[in-house]
Amino acid sequence: MENEEQEKLNPWLSIWTEPRATIQQVVDGDPKLMVLILAPLAGIADALRSNNELAYSGLENLIGLVVAGGIGGYVIVFLGAYPVRWTGGWLGGTASLGAIRAAGVWSSVPKITSAVLLLLLWVLLSQLSGPVAGMEVAAQLMILTLGIWSFVLSCKCYGQVQGFSAWKGLANMLLSFAVVVVPILVIVAVVAALSN
């Protein structure tokens, strides 16, 4: 018993370096662990990372991004789990919706971290009288690096919960994206063709 407790991972730290073991521990213990908190944080992180100039332009814009991002995070995590599960089944995946949601939110920890750092940077810059040389480049490099790492963790976490490799986890993500986006593009193309 004591040995088991010593081996228990702290998911906030271990997700960075041991994503497979971390997500397996989360799913085995409680797949709902922190999902309701991490889902909106992941959405807020995406909104801030994609629109950091807008976030810096004023408090109203920042609040708007936070609200829209939080709602979007819930929608993406809860509805997005369905195509991931469905297309994962084509590849032999066996994950439950709860496990897929857990994989999605826990692999978002690096991008959530980048958003927190962006907010701290925004507060710091609001206290200064002028721009700081190289700060924008440093912020973009941080966003890119943590975004890439979050993507790598997604491949590993989805692969783990589905029961296959990180490469198949990547294929699962791409297929789920395609089954959502391709029909939308077809509908838009048909509507555009009919309106001409």
Q: What is the pTM of this model?
A: 0.86
Alpha helices, DSSP H only, in the chain?
2-7, 11-17, 19-29, 35-50, 52-56, 59-90, 97-106, 109-127, 135-162, 166-195
Are 102 and 32 spatial neighbours (Cβ–Cβ below 8 Å)? yes
* Rg over CA atoms, the chain: 19
What residue segments make up the domains of the chain, in order of their start?
Answer: 10-195
Q: Backbone phi, then psi, for 82, in 5-degree steps? A: -65, -50
Mean pLDDT, contiguous 10-residue spans, the chain (196 residues): 65 97 97 96 90 69 88 95 96 96 97 88 73 75 92 97 96 96 93 89
Can you give the pLDDT at residue 56? 62
Can you give the pLDDT at residue 143? 87
Can you give the pLDDT at residue 105? 97
C-alpha–C-alpha distance, residues 154 and 106, integer Å: 8
- The DSSP result for 102-120, as a single string, is HHHHHTTHHHHHHHHHHHH
